[in-house]
A and B are shown apart, each in its own frame.
Chain A
Amino acid sequence: MSTRSRLLLCVAGLGALHLGVACAGFFAPYDPTAQDREHPYAPPMPLHFVDARGGFHLLPFFYAQELQAGTFDQYEENRSRAIPVEFFVSGAPYHVLGVFPLRIHLLGGGDVQMYLLGSDGYGRDLLSRILFGGQVSLLAGLIGAGLTLSIGLCIGTVAGFWGGWKDEVLMRVAELFLALPWIYLLFAMRAFLPLTVPPLKAFLLVVIVIAAVGWARPARMVRGIVLSAKERDFVRSARGFGASDAYLLRRHIVPETASVVLTQAAILVPQFVLAEMTLSFLGLGVPEPVASWGNMLSSLQHYNVLVSYWWMYLPALAMVPFFLGYLLLESLLQGSYATSKIE
């Protein structure tokens, strides 16, 4: 398969994953904040195709889980009633892109809670929370990467194209930022901003902090490209026709940076998603009740959760297919740029 088709396949796969998360409302059976105090820490429900009497059903079904009398986290299945999994049900309302209200969900359990991946301490459905949490974490990563790359592109271009004292100053500052251990800088920056803020503000704060930490490397790389592009004869020729600086930048120089910017994007997005997860895990990121992959994992810091409720670990795995996709994308991009350079 040619590199180009592999690239397209990879992009399509990543796109599908992102689409799935973007349509969290549809794919999630329930509202992520809907609590059910009667079913805390319910384990994931197995889906069956063969019922108690040995009959085979085409569509899967499940049994309601009830708390065993006298316990607060032991469940048993109520086999007296087989509840079929319903498709395309009407459920809790959600908004697509925050604007269009819809009520249709892919899966549902009728009047009984269906915990495909279990529930957390407040009885909230883990599957729904993972999907909605993905929106928060991925968005943080994407916006953060976008911001960082924009800043890096601007600074790198200014430093590389105009040089002189601007270049010196900017690159010294970049060096400072690069000398700081990334993770400590992240924490320190986040820490010295207000700690208890409403979720939206916290989200923005997290994104800004992440972006502010990561601009130095892309800036340096862009600067390198701009420096060498500036000396290319086709840029000189254009100047020879009377082209202005703005034209040169727009038509010749900035397009040269595309390869670096794209590969950096593929590297930075997963890193930034991870940064958000880490911050939220440690309580410095997006707070409850908004779900994010990070803060869903913070309950694992409690020993009893670690021991008894293994499904609370699942959000940590949710990131893996995305990581895979982005890593693949990055190596494919590197490969395609390397081959196109051989002229």
Chain B
Amino acid sequence: MEPIIRVEDLVKRHARRGLWRRVADFTAVDSISFSILPGTTLALVGESGSGKSSLALCLAGLERVTSGRIWFEGRDLAALGEKELRAVRPRIQLVFQDPANSLNPRWTVEEIVVEPLLVQNRVSRREGDARAAQALERVGLAAEYLDRRPRDLSGGQRQRVAIARALILEPKLLILDEVLSALDCSIQAQIANLLVEMQRAYGLAYLFITHDLRMAAHLADEIAVMSEGKIVEQGAAEKILQGPRRSELRSLVGASPLKPETLGEVRQR
């Protein structure tokens, strides 16, 4: 099976401008390569500052890549111009960590969820309302939430709205950047299960970015461990979890309240 996305030697450097002298550039992503098969989940695990979010932004087309290639649907996204990119965007969507930040607090849930359709000029306003209700239903929210504003919703509900919005354009790949980290523990499980459901129902591929190994264990088919801009380990989930080699992974394993044996109980597909 062809991977849905294949990243080759991706590099992202941030130029830093001192006023009078040049400060060294900061390399956030240092020559990364991986691929994701359709309908599967690749978990990208690493501590804060390891470059995960920069990678996510590059893949979603929100930051320009310094060098490297991103193969998606047979084209290199890194080489596309803005206009061509616009046509591709609906099929790769990004969900952010903090829904308080990723949803415009002045807008109603309906306006938020419909926005992608309007931006892409897919629907008229009226049609949009119907699609919004459908989208909410998919993520388990009743239609009555359409008129609410984000501040009236709980964290878990807001994240559902964010997911509904991401799904409304029917993407093939969803990049989930620490989407569970801002939620309470009990809610995390709910949303994680929702994600699994969505994947099963729509055949979505996920790039699941997290620092929480337990969550990765729950959702991932493959795991890649990132540290200081590089991928230090990559492979099938069971293999990575059962033989933690490097100290980072060890500390991540140690950090999550799980016994190593439990890690072996990776989710059964």
Chains A and B touch each other in the complex, with CB atoms below 8 Å apart: yes
Chain A residues in contact with chain B, CB under 8 A?
232-234, 236-243, 247, 252, 255, 343
Q: Min CB distance, B55 to chain A, in Å?
A: 15
Residue pair B115, A239 in contact (C-beta under 8 Å): no
A236–B62 Cα distance when bound, in Å, is 7
In the bound complex, residues from chain A placing their C-beta under 8 Å from that of B162 are 237
Most chain A beta carbons < 10 A, residue from B94, B98, B101, B119: B119
Residue pair B104, A242 in contact (C-beta under 8 Å): no
In the bound complex, residues from chain A placing their C-beta under 8 Å from that of B214 are none
Instruction: Considering the complex, give the chain A residue whose CB is closest to the CB of B175.
Output: A240
Q: Of A237, A242, A247, A343, which is within 8 A of B102 by CB?
A: A237
In the bound complex, residues from chain A placing their C-beta under 8 Å from that of B101 are 232-234
Q: Is B89's CB within 8 Å of the partner chain A?
A: yes
Q: Min CB distance, A11 to chain B, in Å?
A: 21
Q: Is B251's CB within 8 Å of the partner chain A?
A: no
Instruction: Tell me which residues from 222 to 266 in chain B have a Cβ below 8 Å from any Cβ of chain A.
Output: none
A54–B165 Cα distance when bound, in Å, is 82
A255–B105 Cα distance when bound, in Å, is 11
Per-residue interface assignment for chain B, residues 165 to 184, with 1 indicating a CB less than 8 Å from any chain A CB and 0 otherwise: 10001000000000000000
Residue pair B90, A242 in contact (C-beta under 8 Å): yes
Write 18 A-B pairs (CB below 8 A) sorted by A numbering. Answer: A233-B96, A233-B98, A234-B101, A234-B103, A236-B57, A236-B94, A236-B102, A237-B102, A240-B89, A240-B93, A240-B94, A241-B90, A241-B115, A241-B119, A242-B89, A243-B119, A247-B119, A252-B104
In the bound complex, residues from chain A placing their C-beta under 8 Å from that of B115 are 238, 241
A178–B115 Cα distance when bound, in Å, is 40
Residue pair A343, B151 in contact (C-beta under 8 Å): yes
Q: Min CB distance, B104 to chain A, in Å?
A: 4
A252–B115 Cα distance when bound, in Å, is 11
In the bound complex, residues from chain B placing their C-beta under 8 Å from that of A243 are 119
Identify whether the interface residues of A are mostly helix, strand, loop, or mixed: helix
Residue pair A238, B151 in contact (C-beta under 8 Å): no
In the bound complex, residues from chain B placing their C-beta under 8 Å from that of A343 are 100, 105, 151
Q: Is B48's CB within 8 Å of the partner chain A?
A: no
Residue pair A241, B100 in contact (C-beta under 8 Å): no
A239–B60 Cα distance when bound, in Å, is 10
A71–B98 Cα distance when bound, in Å, is 82
Instruction: Considering the complex, give the chain B residue whose CB is closest to the CB of A248.
Output: B119
A175–B85 Cα distance when bound, in Å, is 39
| Contact-residue bracket for chain B | 20 to 34
The A/B interface has a contact count, at CB < 8 Å, of 49
Residue pair A238, B119 in contact (C-beta under 8 Å): yes
**A234-B102, A234-B104, A255-B106 known; A240+B62 contact, CB < 8 A:** yes
Residue pair A242, B119 in contact (C-beta under 8 Å): yes
Q: Min CB distance, A150 to chain B, in Å?
A: 22
Chain B residues in contact with chain A, CB under 8 A?
57, 60-62, 85-86, 89-90, 93-94, 96, 98, 100-106, 112, 115-116, 119-120, 151, 162, 165, 169
Q: Of A236, A252, A255, which is within 8 A of B96 by CB?
A: A236
Residue pair A241, B103 in contact (C-beta under 8 Å): no
Q: Of B98, B106, B116, which is within 8 A of A241 by CB?
A: B116
Instruction: Considering the complex, give the chain A residue whose CB is closest to the CB of B86.
Output: A242
In the bound complex, residues from chain A placing their C-beta under 8 Å from that of B98 are 233
Q: Min CB distance, B16 to chain A, in Å?
A: 15
Instruction: Considering the complex, give the chain A residue whose CB is closest to the CB of B87.
Output: A242
In the bound complex, residues from chain A placing their C-beta under 8 Å from that of B120 are 241-242
In the bound complex, residues from chain A placing their C-beta under 8 Å from that of B169 are 241
Q: Min CB distance, A257 to chain B, in Å?
A: 12
Q: Min CB distance, B121 to chain A, in Å?
A: 9
A238–B102 Cα distance when bound, in Å, is 9
A243–B85 Cα distance when bound, in Å, is 11
Instruction: Considering the complex, give the chain A residue whose CB is closest to the CB of B111.
Output: A251
A343–B151 Cα distance when bound, in Å, is 6
Q: Min CB distance, B68 to chain A, in Å?
A: 20
Q: Min CB distance, A171 to chain B, in Å?
A: 14
Instruction: Considering the complex, give the chain B residue whose CB is closest to the CB of A234.
Output: B104
In the bound complex, residues from chain B placing their C-beta under 8 Å from that of A241 are 89-90, 115-116, 119-120, 169
Q: Min CB distance, B212 to chain A, in Å?
A: 20
Q: Min CB distance, A235 to chain B, in Å?
A: 8
Q: Min CB distance, B191 to chain A, in Å?
A: 17
- A sample of 4 more A-B contacts (CB under 8 A), given A232-B101, A236-B57, A241-B115, is A233-B96, A234-B102, A240-B60, A241-B120
Q: Min CB distance, A228 to chain B, in Å?
A: 11
Q: Min CB distance, A182 to chain B, in Å?
A: 29
Q: Min CB distance, A111 to chain B, in Å?
A: 61
A307–B119 Cα distance when bound, in Å, is 70
Instruction: Considering the complex, give the chain A residue whose CB is closest to the CB of B165.
Output: A237
A342–B90 Cα distance when bound, in Å, is 34
In the bound complex, residues from chain B placing their C-beta under 8 Å from that of A232 are 101
Residue pair A240, B104 in contact (C-beta under 8 Å): no
Q: Min CB distance, B167 to chain A, in Å?
A: 12
Q: Min CB distance, A175 to chain B, in Å?
A: 15
A239–B116 Cα distance when bound, in Å, is 10
In the bound complex, residues from chain B placing their C-beta under 8 Å from that of A236 are 57, 62, 94, 96, 102
In the bound complex, residues from chain B placing their C-beta under 8 Å from that of A240 are 60-62, 89, 93-94
Instruction: Considering the complex, give the chain A residue whose CB is closest to the CB of B121.
Output: A242
Instruction: Considering the complex, give the chain A residue whose CB is closest to the CB of B93.
Output: A240
In the bound complex, residues from chain B placing their C-beta under 8 Å from that of A247 are 119
A132–B86 Cα distance when bound, in Å, is 57
Residue pair A237, B100 in contact (C-beta under 8 Å): no
Q: Min CB distance, B263 to chain A, in Å?
A: 32
A247–B115 Cα distance when bound, in Å, is 11
In the bound complex, residues from chain B placing their C-beta under 8 Å from that of A233 are 96, 98, 101-102
In the bound complex, residues from chain B placing their C-beta under 8 Å from that of A252 are 104
